[in-house]
Amino acid sequence: MIARVTLEIALRKEFDYLIPPELRAQVEVGTRVKVPFGPRQVMGCVTALVEESPHTNLRAILKVVGAQSLVTPSILKLARWIADYYCCSVEAALKSVLPEAVRKEKAGWRERLFARALPLAGDLPRLTRRQQEVWNVIEEWRETVRKLEDKGLVSIGPQISERDPYAGELILPTQPLALNAEQAAALQKIIESIDAQPEKAGKRESGKAGEQVCDASSSPARLPTGPPAVFLLHGVTGSGKTEIYLQAIACALQQGRGAIVLVPEISLTPQTVERFKARFCSGPLQTLVAVLHSHLSAGERHDEWHKIRQGRARIVIGARSAIFAPVDPLGLIVVDEEHEYSYKQEEAPRYHARDVAVVRGQMEGAVVVLGSATPSLESFHNAQKGKYSLLQLPHRADDRKMPLVRVIDMRQESRKEKGTPIFSQKLKEEITLRLERREQVMLFLNRRGYATSLQCPKCGFVAECPNCSVALTYHRSRQRLLCHICAYEAQAPTLCPNGKCRNPAIRYAGLGTEKVEDTLTKLFPRARVRRMDSDALKRKDDYRRILGDFRTGKIDILVGTQMIAKGLHFPNVTLVGIIYADLSLHQPDFRAGERTFQLLTQVSGRAGRGEVEGEVVVQAFTPFHPAIQYARRHDFAGFYEQEIEFREQLKYPPVSRAALLTLKGRNEEKVRLSADHVRKEIEKLAGRGSQKVGKRESESAEPVKSGAMSAHFPAFPLSQPPALHALPDLIIAGPAPAPLLRAETYYRYQLMLRTRQMSKLSRSLANVLETLSLPEDVSLMVDVDPVNLA
Ligand SMILES: [Zn+2]
Ligand SMILES: [Zn+2]
């Protein structure tokens, strides 16, 4: 028998190894192995078992790592899909499907040494002082623990020492809540779909290698009932989506299947986790709920992962990478806040967990529920086209009204006040009123720091980062200038640093959360104000502590960045203020409007979740922008209609799919020339795939005019589709300087490709990457379905 192995060192190739007779029983698809490679020994993963190899003189596998195959055949198949679609190597994809803590050769369960005092034969021998101290501790503790045991308070016995990140939390079981008619109708649809999936009896028990051989070409469509449904659950903030998730999971468990729940990292609060644990920690469906996210220690992650692999935990709740949890059989995948950009991984493989969820659901016969109050245009477009089933919850679960949203025109306020005030008259009045009524206020500004730039009014000097093309942000509490891209720090100067100027009257322009907090404490000296942004959170539990203080009423006004925009539920918050609503509109990104709409809706959703009706004050310099006006009216459908028209005109996603190619290097000219070269290669290679016409390849390719392109929106002016016959709708835009031309000392130039047939394009791009010759100090990144264009 021969094993085909991908190695951890990325080589974009598979290698054949002999399986020595003594390892034959242990090696199957997905097994992690150590193999010789040149003079080295490297780790790899078995991707197939074959009878014969085209190569001779095969070397043998050295050893099998781990008792159980770590990568299940279905996850392996998913990894291959990721490599194909996102244009990365299988090795890179395989790396991200297994947590680091599980992948390591040495990883294991925690071993602990136990010391027990043995009966003494005679007198205690002579001990050093240190030895004596330790002996005393053992003796004393033994006595004390035995006494506690006598009292029936503790039990003593051997035990596996499993790390539980949530140990010590008292979790009270909860019962399913009564649903309103809208919720019940939505749940019904999901349950019908789960029920329609055939039972996978015995699948989990079968450990035989023969049955588990993965065949990437085998289609999941052999299910007699057809592929399972993908639902888009569009429910306004407070409409009770989580309760639907919980009851749908219960249904999957009844069927003997497990579930994965993805939530954005930032929403993965103890509150959220508790809600899931509380529902499933007791009762007839009792199962372990495993949690996977980046704040776990490596050991905790290892243990949580193996609880899932062993089938002891059948519900997994986690951030992005939890989509690869080895739940088997899988009945349901929930992606909460599906519009969140944090589901996209910003390093290779650049996968989008929501899209991977849909693919995995189809592969494994699991129903997928995408939930959001502000669905992404991509998902809503799919629902409109009938690819997803749309479920809507237009009302809040408890029949509370949506908050009243007022938009304040800050241009008028500026005129009144001669200068730009932080707070409009209206917002000040409303805050005063809430403080009098002992209600709570949340103020939102998506920019941290005190001032956004340091400027000299005399000579025009602006303090810029030496590594990036951005101005440094002034953080007053630390008296430092910081770069928010590369974390460069400098002392804040007191004179203009320009040697010829030395003006002492330098100014700090712009506004950040620190200044909002500062101004509030001056305006409302008796109010208890706290700030929540990444600067204010120093220790691991700060986030939790500040939210706890807010919940118990120890804080009157909470100021924060997007950190406070998500999923928080505080019944006493009756006013939400948005300081600069149009901040996110002025980004060089075709999704700027969508982002603004989402942010305003999510932040507004924090108001009025208790007895008293909520109010939202939105301050804006472009108050009539559609994204702001539709958010004011809580009108998602209206926003979608006008936004999709704009995307249609410019052929931007979701009307097409995009791939962003970024070239970077320290020499700007080299980067620019390389980008031109890449464009030419793509034109050639994408055309070569055609079988009908092969000659007119580069005829209509338009001349590259990179220098003339502006870094501002639209970063990618429409170009004439070149004659690429394999992909007739391919649009190649650029090269153009990236919106952030220089980051961390690297210059960046971009090309954006758009087509409806991304899988085809990905394959062509893989070819381009193989054959491309770039200067050594210029690198190329491919981002399929990018969400960050900077
Ligand atoms: Zn100056
Ligand atoms: Zn920087």
Q: How far is the CA of 455 from the centre of ligand 1 (A)?
A: 8
Q: How far is the CA of 790 from the centre of ligand 1 (A)?
A: 30
Average pLDDT over residues 339-363: 94
Confidence of residue 526 (pLDDT cuts 50, 70, 90): very high
Does 149 have pLDDT greater than 80? no
Confidence of residue 164 (pLDDT cuts 50, 70, 90): low
C-alpha–C-alpha distance, residues 3 and 5, integer Å? 6
Q: According to the model, what pLDDT value does residue 125 have?
A: 82
Confidence of residue 168 (pLDDT cuts 50, 70, 90): low
229 vs 205, more confident: 229
Q: According to the model, what pLDDT value does residue 207 have?
A: 36
C-alpha–C-alpha distance, residues 124 and 121, integer Å? 9
Average pLDDT over residues 426-454: 92
Residue 115 C-alpha from the chain's centroid? 44
What values do phi and psi take at 305, rounded to 5? -65, -45
Q: How far is the CA of 464 from the centre of ligand 1 (A)?
A: 14
Q: What residues does 617 pair with on adjacent strands? A: 406, 577
Long-range contacts of 22-28 (CB under 8 A, 24+ apart): 23/61, 23/63, 23/64, 26/64, 27/1, 27/3, 27/61, 27/64, 27/209, 28/69, 28/209, 28/212, 28/213
Ligand closest in space to the Cα of 458: 1
Q: How far is the CA of 249 from the centre of ligand 1 (A)?
A: 63
Amino acid (1-letter code) at residue 400: R
Confidence of residue 714 (pLDDT cuts 50, 70, 90): very low
Does 695 have pLDDT greater than 60? no
C-alpha–C-alpha distance, residues 725 and 388, integer Å? 31
Peptide bond into 714 cis (omega under 30): yes
739 vs 335, more confident: 335
Ligand closest in space to the Cα of 504: 1
Query: Is the Cβ–Cβ distance between 731 and 650 less than 8 Å?
Result: no
Q: How far is the CA of 220 from the centre of ligand 1 (A)?
A: 67
How is residue 401 annotated by DSSP?
P
Q: How far is the CA of 583 from the centre of ligand 1 (A)?
A: 28
Ligand closest in space to the Cα of 465: 2
Report the residue count for the chain.
790
**Each residue of 501-518: pLDDT tens digit?**
898 888 888 889 999 999
Q: How far is the CA of 541 from the centre of ligand 2 (A)?
A: 28
**Each residue of 89-99: pLDDT tens digit?**
888 888 888 87
Query: Is the Cβ–Cβ distance between 469 and 740 less than 8 Å?
Result: yes
Q: How far is the CA of 469 from the centre of ligand 2 (A)?
A: 7
Average pLDDT over residues 637-656: 94
Q: How far is the CA of 23 from the centre of ligand 1 (A)?
A: 73
Query: Tokens standing for 320?
Result: 């992005």
Distance (Å) of CA 251 to CA 188, 243, 248, 436:
11, 13, 5, 48
456 vs 369, more confident: 369
Ligand closest in space to the Cα of 500: 1
**Each residue of 395-426: pLDDT tens digit?**
888 778 888 999 999 988 888 877 778 999 99
Q: How far is the CA of 336 from the centre of ligand 1 (A)?
A: 50
Q: According to the model, what pLDDT value does residue 132 have?
A: 84
Confidence of residue 68 (pLDDT cuts 50, 70, 90): low
Average pLDDT over residues 454-479: 86
Neighbours of 283 (CB within 10 A): 13
pTM: 0.81
Q: What residues does 498 pair with on adjacent strands? A: none
Does 389 have pLDDT greater than 80? yes
Q: How far is the CA of 667 from the centre of ligand 1 (A)?
A: 30
414 vs 164, more confident: 414
Query: Is the Cβ–Cβ distance between 467 and 488 less than 8 Å?
Result: yes
Range scoring the smallest mean pLDDT among 281-285, 609-613, 742-746: 281-285
| Residue 68: closest CA among 403, 281, 326 | 326
Q: What residues does 454 pair with on adjacent strands? A: 508
Query: Tokens standing for 708?
Result: 């003339």
Q: For 227-266, give one letter per residue: b (16+ CB within 10 A) or e.
A: ebbbbbbbbbbbbbbbbbbbbbbbbbbebebbbbbbbbeb
Mean pLDDT of the chain: 83
Q: How far is the CA of 491 from the centre of ligand 1 (A)?
A: 17
C-alpha–C-alpha distance, residues 236 and 13, integer Å? 48
